[in-house]
Structures are given as structure tokens and as C-alpha cells.
Amino acid sequence: MQTLIINIKELLQVRDNPIDKVSGAEMAILPKIDNAFLLIEDNLIADFGSMANCPTIKADQTIDATGKTVLPTWCDSHTHIVYAGNRIQEFVDRINGLSYEEIANRGGGILNSAKKLNETNEEDIYNQSKVRLEEIMQQGTGAVEIKSGYGLTVDGELKMLRVIRKLAANYPIKIKATFLGAHAFPTEYKENHAAYIDLIINEMLPKISEGKLADYIDTFLETGYFSVQETEKIMEAGKKYGLIPKIHVNQFTAINGIKACVKYEALSVDHLEIVTDEDIEDLKGSKTMPVALPSCSYFISIPYTPARKMMAAGLPLALATDYNPGTTPSGNMNFVVATACIKMKMTPEEAINAATINGAYAMGISQTHGSITKGKSANIIITKPLTTYYEMAYSFTSNLIETVFIEGKAI
């Protein structure tokens, strides 16, 4: 099956030689071809280039993209889209002035989601979650990482990870699963952290490993949640099962968590609303991708990740949604890219690099996703006619996507 897309006004993120990520000043460069063609064969990108070199073949399907932009689909490396119910009441409580802490004391927050998840059967959770997965695919996401972390019991965590695996089996979108048993301490372990960490290490991890249910391991490393020391213990245990860390860190406080994550060769450190000079030094020269989640900053009115400062220090940066029921009930990567430009002062080139190739790196798939490169998965967005691709950030609430291809097929 061949699909030939012709007369593309702007073909973005073209990389002849495969790269795994872009860092620092390189992030400002988004290679593109004007008046281009793109050839898809089965599920892969077979060829691309200027229209002057367009092959004269009779493809099974030819799409005229006059006036339109084509770019790789978004790689959303941080989500929690498997959950039960919602937290709409907490949203309204917050509007009425209740603090995060007061909401938590009323049984809200992560423990509220955990209660709902444990009361809901697996099929129901799957059916609720697949609606969100289908929605983000329509919004241009072609690869997504999904975390557990609303079970906080052996059964609940396994149930969530099985749902993630089932979604991966039933949908063409690339899905990576992360075990986040260390999302919060269940009420019965509030005074006995060691016992819950033992449960994670001795009961959850062996079962998850046996069922091959997770690719990565995560912890909410934060004041009042998991300490640096507790996180190190969990990263160490995960390592024995081949689970590489991707860690929630520096959302509200900076407590030298990033140093520990780098020491354990975390694939990514995510949130980073509060970043110190020392954190930046720790990240320099490491293989760890910093990940910013601007929709979360927007929704709960907390600072945005200091992208300019981090890129000026030569660091890479990825963008993801953090789609979850409490602090970011949105999986729209177009909004993330626009918000990164509007609020974090990233240029459209930097934001698109961060949401494609660097997002792919942050979930370990940059060899197959995140750029227009021969042999990579044919995951592309075709936009509606645009003045320039800058419009994708400028017209920040318009739906500018016309068609999304995942694994070579229009969805």
C-alpha cells in the first residue's frame, strides 16, 4: 500500500540522518522542505523531498496537500489517561478557594482517584480510558506514555497496567507503560512509609515484571510525597527488573531530587516548575531528558518550567500533557505547543522539536518516531491550509488538523 502526499506547502521536522534528540541552541532549528512530497509505504515513511524530485509512480492513494503543512505526530511522553470517573468537584472547590491541602484532607486528590479506580471493574476502566485515547489520536498524538498510580494496591496497580497493555494491543498508536505505584501513600500507610515501599518492592514489582506489564518506573518525588531517599530505593529496586526511571520531580519544591534521578540514569525528569541552578548543573552532560508540562501549570496556576534558562544552558527539553483527572484534564498536544510558545516563550521551532523528537526520546522511541525520516513509522499530521506553521501556536484554540496518519493509516 503506497500513499503519496504531494504539493505540501511546508514539510516540517525532516531529518535525513536519524537523531535521537536536540538540545540547547539546536532546538531553535526545525528543518523543513517547502513544496514537498512524502511517500508512505505500508506503515513506514519511504521517501520525501522537494516536488521537483517527486517520483512518477502510480500510488494506491494520492493526496494533494496544497497550502497545507505536514509534520510528525506528537509524542506525548507523560500521561495518566487510564483512570476512573473524574475530579470535577475538586475543580469547583478550588475555584471556591480551597487549597490543594484542604482538598486532600477532604479525601480529594490522588487518593480520591485511587478510591474510584479500585471500585471500578477492569472493563469499565478500559472503556472510559479508550475514549480519551481516541480523542488524543484525533488531536494528532501518535505515541503516548501512560502511567499506573491510581491503584496504590497490588490489585489496583496490576489492573491499570493490564488496561494499558490492552489499549496498546487494540490501537495502532505506540504506547509505553510506566509503573507509578509510588504516586502517593495510601491512608493506611501515612505513618508507615517503609511498609508501603516494601509492598511496592516485594509484591508489586515482581508481579509486574512477571507479566511484562511495564517499560518504566516512576515516583512522585516531592515534599510531602516520596523523599529522595525513598525514591532512590524504588529506582534501585526497579533497576533489578530492567525498569528505567522516569520521575515526577520539582513540581512544587526543589530538594535535590534531580541529582538522584541523574545518578540512576533516569530517561526523563518531569514537571520542573521549580528549577535551581544546581539542578541545571546536574542535568548537563546527562542522558536524562527534562520534560515540561505547561497544561498542568495553566490548569492549577503554578509556575511554568523555565524553558529559556534551561535551553540557554545547553539542555534539551521535551513537552508533554500530563493528562490526568486532577491537575490536567486535557491531552491536547496542540494546546501544549501553543502554551509553551505563549507562556514559556519557546519559539514554534523549539516547541515543535520538544513535542516530537524530544518527546520520542523521553519514552525511548526516537529511533522509530518523532521526525520525518526514511524508515520511521508513518505517523503524520496533515493540517488545514495555513499561512505558515506558526499559526499552530498563534491560533491557539482553533482545530487546525485535517488528517492524522498513524502507522500509515488515516484515522
Smallest distance, Zn ion to C-beta of residue 71, A: 25
Q: How far is the CB of 258 from Zn ion (least distance, A)?
A: 16
Residues 6+ apart with CB under 8 A from 265: 244, 245, 286, 287, 288
In DSSP terms, 221 is beta-bridged to: 226, 249
In the stretch 269-308, what mask flags binding to Zn ion with x, by CB under 5 A? Answer: ----------------------------------------
Task: Say how far apart CA 329 and CA 322 lie, in whole Å.
Answer: 8
Instruction: Name the closest residue to Zn ion (Cβ).
Output: 322
Size of the site for Zn ion (CB under 5 A): 1
Output 33 or 152, the one with its CB closest to Zn ion: 152
Amino acid at 362: A
Please list, residue by residue across 325-349, b when 16 or more beta carbons sit within 10 angstroms of its beta carbon and e when fewer do. bbbbbbbbbbbbbbbbbbebebbbb
**Alpha carbon of residue 35 to chain centroid:** 31
Q: How many Å apart are CA 148 and CA 157, to the nearest integer?
A: 6
Report helix, strand or coil for 339. Answer: helix
CB of 372 to Zn ion, least distance (A): 29
Alpha-carbon distances, residue 151 vs 81, 181, 311 (angstroms): 13, 7, 36
Indicate the residue among 48 and 335 with the shorter CB distance to Zn ion.
335
Of 23-31, 65-73, 318-326, 335-343, which segment contacts Zn ion by CB under 5 A? Answer: 318-326
Assigned C-alpha cell, 11: 514539510
**Known binder of ligand: residue 270?**
no
**What is the per-residue binding string for Zn ion in 104-133, x denoting contact by CB under 5 A?**
------------------------------
Would you say 150 or 264 has its CB closer to Zn ion? Answer: 150
Name which of 232 and 270 has its Cβ closer to Zn ion: 270
- Cβ nearer to Zn ion, comparing 221 with 352: 221
> Min. distance of Cβ 62 from Zn ion in angstroms?
42
Confirm or deny that 271 is annotated as ligand binding.
Answer: no
Site string for Zn ion, 320-349 (x = CB under 5 A): --x---------------------------
Neighbours of 356 (CB within 10 A): 32
Would you say 322 or 350 has its CB closer to Zn ion?
322
Task: Write down the least CB distance from residue 306 to Zn ion, Å.
Answer: 19
Q: Is 200 exposed, middle or buried (0-12, 13-18, 19+ CB in 10 A)?
A: buried
> Whose Cβ is closer to Zn ion: residue 149's or residue 316's?
149
Answer yes or no whether residue 222 interacts with Zn ion by CB under 5 A: no
Q: Any known ligand binding at 369?
A: no
Q: How far apart are CA 208 and CA 370, in angstroms?
A: 28
**Closest CB to Zn ion among residues 219, 371:** 219
Kindly give the residue spans of alpha helices, DSSP state H, lying in 62-146.
88-95, 100-105, 110-119, 122-138
Location of C-alpha cell 513540581: 251
**DSSP 3-state assignment of 210?**
helix
Stretch that binds Zn ion, among 181-189, 224-232, 317-325, 346-354 (CB under 5 A): 317-325
The answer to whether 157 and 120 have CB atoms below 8 angstroms apart is no
In which element (H, E) is residue 383 found?
A: strand 380-385
Does the annotation list 183 as a binding residue? yes
Binding-site residues from annotation for Fe(3+): 78, 80, 248, 322
| Chain residues that interact with Zn ion, rule: CB under 5 A | 322
User: Which residue ranges make up the annotated binding site for N-formimidoyl-L-glutamate?
Assistant: 150, 324, 326
Binding residues, by number, are: 78, 80, 87, 150, 183, 248, 251, 322, 324, 326-327
